[in-house]
């Protein structure tokens, strides 16, 4: 992947150089370079016919993701609240906007997004592109109206050329900005955790980890039914019994169905060890607190998922079992993903 | 040329044979069969989350999830129909979830035209074909059955709430599958005459009556059962009850 990105950057640099001082309102010569990320450890990469991945598009999206130019006072980028070392989540319970305003939900991890059918905790965005539209103008986040963001990009020394390389036009629009960011985000793939290596036969679980896996896949704990598949999420919405009367109506705000009150999407557990705090409101600072919730803390909320209602108040883990489960969850940490330079700020 | 009486008779016979219902000159070529999946609870259409139902056991319940896998469809040819290709068979596997309307139909193209007497399919996946990792699409759908309980894939996830014997709200999670390495899939055979015409589509509705899972021939009370993925006795009971679950809707 790294050599592809370097090639893309070279292509972008050439295109940008060709665009300076010339009429570059037309398509760039050569065109963007399509590619499909390696997802051998996961599932076939889904088609995105409305936004095909290209090396140039991904490079541009990476640039934009890390660039504070998209915030009102040029101090915040997407990466300010989505830190790679935290699996692109935010270690703060609530992210702070450029004006210091706190958000209302914990910033979720950005991992293995191509298979997700919707985005945000309540699923209000149907595509990654639509999700990317929201934080930029949000007054409590980056607080830069798109009508102000676009001229900034157009006036930038490099962006017109990068957009030309990626989309065959220097006419930068909001659509193209979010398409580029989405392309980059679709490359944030995690498939090299210890769990993956065990599945490939390249490593073995310790006895503790194996016991933890058995608990994870038991009907006693029910973890696997929601946090299943290689993605460790079913992408669906559940009330997991955090509160007897949920204050945050969650999915109901999107569907208007009362039976969706208090439901939030299942987050992926990949890299869960480093993505604290947990739950939609970041109420649990540690994984131990999460395990305690599922051990004895499941509340009888109106829309509590049947999978958890059958085990309420919880799995009643013993102390050794909690340690085993924790050990298994740590096998989902992917050091390659967390340190991949292709995901970090462009040099 | 003047025709003799014999020639006239022969000409008449040939001409008569060319008109009407001679199979040797009937249109040929395949047609399409579409299976529509329909779910009910007795006489009521099944509606997720909001529908309230009562089965013959007396369990009052609602359904939050219903998804299942059917596979290996076949359409037995009518015995009276002479055709070289015989029965239609398919190894196709279909995942149906009520949360996605796109899974409500299954299309079989290139079905030889002719008369058929019904359909057969496997509820679930035959044991020989139900091993972990062999159906990646089902992995992505969340239907994998844990290795510690036998591996392979779920046949069905039927989940919801019911009013228990203490009048409190409890939950049921009827998960059917290859529990502890045993094969609880079963064959469904439905008699239903239908015809496939060249270039045309025939639609058949396969109906699941969820109430039948719990009453016939074995009464299965939600009050008496928790999670059953690791419960071979419950799996055996529901496998037997499955014989009356499916029908072809008129």
User: Mean pLDDT in each 10-residue stretch from start to end of chain B (250 residues)?
Assistant: 48 45 63 97 97 96 98 79 64 95 96 91 95 94 95 98 97 97 96 94 97 96 96 97 95
* pLDDT of A4 strictly over 70: no
For the purposes of burial, counting CB atoms within 10 Å of the CB of B76, is it exposed (0-12), middle (13-18) or buried (19 or more)?
Answer: middle
| Average pLDDT estimate for A129-146 | 97
CB atoms within 10 A of CB A58: 28
Return all residues near A344 (Cβ < 8 A) that are at least 6 apart. A66, A84
Backbone angles phi, psi at B8, to 5 degrees: -65, -40
Separation in Å, CA of A309 to nearest CA in chain B: 6
pLDDT value of position B174: 98
Measure the N-to-C terminal CA separation of chain B; round to a whole number of Å. Answer: 58
Closest CA in chain A for residue B141? A234
How far apart CA B161 and CA A28 sit, in angstroms, is 59
Residue of A41, A114, A221, A225 to mutate for B, most B C-beta atoms under 10 A: A225
- pTM of the shown model: 0.89
Q: Per the CB < 8 Å rule, is B140 touching A306?
A: no
Q: Per the CB < 8 Å rule, is B140 touching A115?
A: yes
| Average pLDDT estimate for A152-161 | 97
Q: Per the CB < 8 Å rule, is A219 touching B229?
A: yes
Residue of A200, A215, A219 to mutate for B, most B C-beta atoms under 10 A: A219
pLDDT value of position B72: 93
What three-state secondary structure class fits A257? coil
* pLDDT of A61 strictly over 60: yes
| Average pLDDT estimate for A322-341 | 98
Q: Please state, rounded to an integer, the average pLDDT across all residues of chain A.
A: 92
Among partner residues B49, B140, B148, which is closest to A259 by beta-carbon distance? B49
Residue A198 forms contact with B (CB below 8 Å): no
How far apart CA A12 and CA B11 sit, in angstroms, is 81
Return all residues near A84 (Cβ < 8 A) that are at least 6 apart. A338, A339, A340, A343, A344
Query: Given pLDDT bands bounded at 50, 70 and 90, which one contains residue A30?
Result: confident
**Residue B3 has what DSSP assignment?**
P
Closest CA in chain A for residue B227? A219
Q: In chain B, what residues touch A311 (CB-CB under 8 Å)?
A: 227
Computed on alpha carbons and rounded to an integer, the radius of gyration of chain A in Å comes to: 21
Q: Per the CB < 8 Å rule, is B50 touching A259?
A: yes
Separation in Å, CA of B72 to nearest CA in chain A: 24
Query: Given pLDDT bands bounded at 50, 70 and 90, which one contains residue A11?
Result: very low
pLDDT value of position A17: 38
How far apart CA B25 and CA A345 sit, in angstroms, is 72
Among partner residues B99, B149, B173, which is closest to A306 by beta-carbon distance? B173
Contact status, residue B78 vs residue B196, Cβ threshold 8 Å: no
Q: Per the CB < 8 Å rule, is A307 touching B173?
A: yes
Separation in Å, CA of B148 to nearest CA in chain A: 7
Q: Which residues pair with B115 in a beta bridge?
A: B195
Contact status, residue A160 vs residue A63, Cβ threshold 8 Å: no
Closest CA in chain A for residue B139? A229
pLDDT value of position B89: 87
How far apart CA B170 and CA A340 sit, in angstroms, is 46
Element (H, E) at B129: none
pLDDT value of position B28: 76
Closest CA in chain B for residue A228? B142
Residue A217 forms contact with B (CB below 8 Å): yes
Return all residues near A285 (Cβ < 8 A) that are at least 6 apart. A276, A277, A278
What b/e sequence results for B17-45 when a residue is b if at least 16 CB atoms lie within 10 Å of its CB, and e otherwise?
eeeeeeeeeeeeebbbbebebebbbeeee
- B149-152 long-range CB contacts below 8 Å, 24 or more apart? B149/A217, B149/B179, B149/B180, B149/B229, B149/B230, B150/B177, B150/B178, B150/B179, B150/B180, B150/B181, B150/B182, B151/B178, B151/B181, B152/B125, B152/B127, B152/B177, B152/B178
Q: Per the CB < 8 Å rule, is B171 touching A224?
A: no
**Residue B18 has what DSSP assignment?**
H
pLDDT value of position B223: 98
Closest CA in chain B for residue A116? B140
pLDDT value of position B85: 55
Q: In chain A, what residues touch B144 (CB-CB under 8 Å)?
A: 228-229
Q: Per the CB < 8 Å rule, is B226 touching A310?
A: yes
Return all residues near A237 (Cβ < 8 A) that are at least 6 apart. A122, A123, A250, A251, A260, A263, A264, A265, A266
Least confident among A66-75, A168-177, B23-32: B23-32
**In sequence order, which ranges of chain A are alpha helices (DSSP H)?**
2-19, 55-65, 78-81, 128-133, 146-155, 159-167, 174-185, 194-199, 207-216, 223-226, 252-255, 287-296, 306-309, 319-330, 335-339
Measure the N-to-C terminal CA separation of chain A; round to a whole number of Å. Answer: 16
Instruction: Give per-residue pLDDT as tens, A238-286.
Output: 999 999 999 999 999 999 999 999 999 999 999 999 999 999 999 999 9
| Average pLDDT estimate for A148-163 | 97
pLDDT value of position B29: 87
Q: How far is CA A179 from the centre of its chain?
A: 15
pLDDT value of position B16: 45
Residue of B135, B148, B228 to mutate for A, most A C-beta atoms under 10 A: B148
Backbone angles phi, psi at A264, to 5 degrees: -135, 160
Q: Per the CB < 8 Å rule, is A257 touching B147?
A: no
pLDDT value of position A100: 95
How far apart CA A10 and CA A53 sit, in angstroms, is 17
Residue of A306, A307, A310 to mutate for B, most B C-beta atoms under 10 A: A306
Percent of chain A at pLDDT > 70 equals 92
Query: Given pLDDT bands bounded at 50, 70 and 90, which one contains residue A176?
Result: very high
DSSP conformation letters of B197-220: -TT-EEEEEEEEEGGGGGTSSS--
Separation in Å, CA of A314 to nearest CA in chain B: 14
Q: Per the CB < 8 Å rule, is A217 touching B146?
A: yes
Residue A199 forms contact with B (CB below 8 Å): no
């Amino acid at each position: 992947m790294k050599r592809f990105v370097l090639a893309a950057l070279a292509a972008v640099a050439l295109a940008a150089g060709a665009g300076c001082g010339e009429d570059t309102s037309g398509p760039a010569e050569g065109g963007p370079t399509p590619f499909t990320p390696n997802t051998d450890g996961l599932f076939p990469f889904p088609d995105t016919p409305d936004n095909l991945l290209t090396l140039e598009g991904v490079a541009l999206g990476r640039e934009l993701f890390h660039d504070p130019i998209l915030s009102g006072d040029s101090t915040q980028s997407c990466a300010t609240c989505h830190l790679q070392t935290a699996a692109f989540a935010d270690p703060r319970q609530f992210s702070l906007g450029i004006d210091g305003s706190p958000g209302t939900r914990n910033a979720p991890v950005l991992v293995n997004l191509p298979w997700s059918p919707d985005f945000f905790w309540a699923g209000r965005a149907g595509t990654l592109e639509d999700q990317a539209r929201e934080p930029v103008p949000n007054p409590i986040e980056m607080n830069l109206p798109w009508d102000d963001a676009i001229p900034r990009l157009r006036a930038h020394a490099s962006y017109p050329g990068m957009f030309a390389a990626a989309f065959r036009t220097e006419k930068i629009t909001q659509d193209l900005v979010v398409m580029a960011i989405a392309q980059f985000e679709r490359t944030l793939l995690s498939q090299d955790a210890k769990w993956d290596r065990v599945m490939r036969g390249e490593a073995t679980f310790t006895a503790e980890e194996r016991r933890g896996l058995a608990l994870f896949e038991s009907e006693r704990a029910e973890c696997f039914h929601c946090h299943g598949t290689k993605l460790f999420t079913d992408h669906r919405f559940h009330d997991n019994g955090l509160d007897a009367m949920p204050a945050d109506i969650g999915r109901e705000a999107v569907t208007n169905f009362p039976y969706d009150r208090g439901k939030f999407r299942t987050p992926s557990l990949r890299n869960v060890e480093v993505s604290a705090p947990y739950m939609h409101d970041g109420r649990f600072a540690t994984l131990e607190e999460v395990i305690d919730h599922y051990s004895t803390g499941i509340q009888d909320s109106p829309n509590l998922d049947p999978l958890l209602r059958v085990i309420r108040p919880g799995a009643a883990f013993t102390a050794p079992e909690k340690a085993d489960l924790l050990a298994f969850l740590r096998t989902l940490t992917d050091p390659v993903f967390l340190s991949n330079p292709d995901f970090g700020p462009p040099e | 040329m003047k025709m003799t009486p014999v020639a006239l008779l022969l000409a008449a016979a040939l001409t008569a044979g060319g008109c009407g219902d001679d199979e040797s000159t009937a249109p040929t070529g395949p047609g399409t069969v579409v299976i529509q999946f329909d779910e009910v609870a007795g006489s009521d259409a099944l509606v997720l989350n909001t529908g309230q139902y009562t089965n013959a056991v007396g369990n009052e319940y609602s359904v939050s999830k219903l998804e299942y896998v059917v596979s290996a469809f076949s359409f037995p040819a009518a015995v009276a129909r002479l055709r070289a290709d015989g029965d239609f068979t398919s190894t196709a596997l279909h995942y149906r979830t009520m949360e996605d309307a796109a899974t409500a139909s299954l299309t079989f193209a290139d079905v030889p035209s002719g008369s058929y007497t019904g359909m057969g399919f496997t509820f679930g996946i035959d044991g020989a074909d139900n091993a972990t990792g062999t159906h990646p699409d089902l992995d992505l759908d969340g239907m994998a059955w844990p290795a510690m309980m036998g591996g392979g894939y779920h046949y069905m996830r039927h989940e919801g709430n019911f009013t228990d014997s203490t009048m409190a709200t409890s939950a049921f999670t009827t998960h059917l599958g290859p529990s502890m390495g045993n094969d609880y899939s079963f064959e469904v055979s439905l008699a239903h005459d239908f015809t496939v015409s060249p270039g045309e589509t025939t639609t058949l509705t396969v109906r699941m009556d969820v109430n039948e899972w719990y009453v016939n021939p074995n009464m299965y009370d939600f009050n008496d059962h928790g999670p059953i993925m690791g419960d071979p006795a419950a799996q055996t009971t529901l496998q037997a009850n499955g014989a009356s679950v499916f029908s072809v809707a008129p």
